[in-house]
Amino acid sequence: MNDPIPGSLTAAQSLGGHAPRQATQQHSASASTVDTSHLVEVWGDTVDSRHLAWSVVLGIAISLGAFMVANRIFALFVHDAAMSRAYSMLVGLLACLVAGAVCARLFKPKRRVVEETADSARLQSVLDQLATEPGGLGSVADLPPAVAAEMKELGLYDLFADAERRVKETV
């Protein structure tokens, strides 16, 4: 099986059915050969620094190349130099999108999202910790109907209501 990336963050909290589940990131390599020395966190996601470097190089090459080619072509057909340069910059921007798509195809994600059931004791401890934070838990009565319905569907509404009652009893 796969081991989680050491120090990885929770990818998302995904809850299904009535049992809350927690999603975690896992590396796709086998457990015995996991080398995380080249993994870095950028904007809340774990990336391979080598692939990030290649993506930057490809992005520069594709967008700058497209800009320069477009600049020469537009210079032949558009007689206003400012307009020719503006059109070339637009082509360069579109090439940035193409470069992003190319890099996304070349460099697949290095993680998998795996869901596991969270036990009620763990959820209660998290709610107790949230209650001690500034602002507390708030009140389930203040929730918009759509949010309350979603929490009930996920089995969280009763947990929050119980935690709210416990907080009120201790005060």
56 and 99 assigned to the same domain? yes
52 and 98 assigned to the same domain? yes
Domain assignment present for 57: yes
Domain assignment present for 38: no
Tracing tokens 């009930």 back to the chain, one arrives at 152
Each residue's pLDDT, cut to its tens digit, for the chain (171 residues) gives 444 444 433 333 333 333 344 444 444 444 446 677 888 888 878 888 999 999 999 999 999 999 999 999 999 999 999 999 999 999 999 999 999 999 999 998 777 666 666 677 787 788 778 778 887 777 888 889 999 899 888 888 888 888 888 877 776
Domain assignment present for 137: yes
61 and 94 assigned to the same domain? yes
- Regarding pTM above 0.75, the answer is no
Closest CA to 9 of 35, 37, 38, 47: 47
Domain assignment present for 154: yes
For residue 95, what are the domain limits?
48-106
93 and 136 assigned to the same domain? no
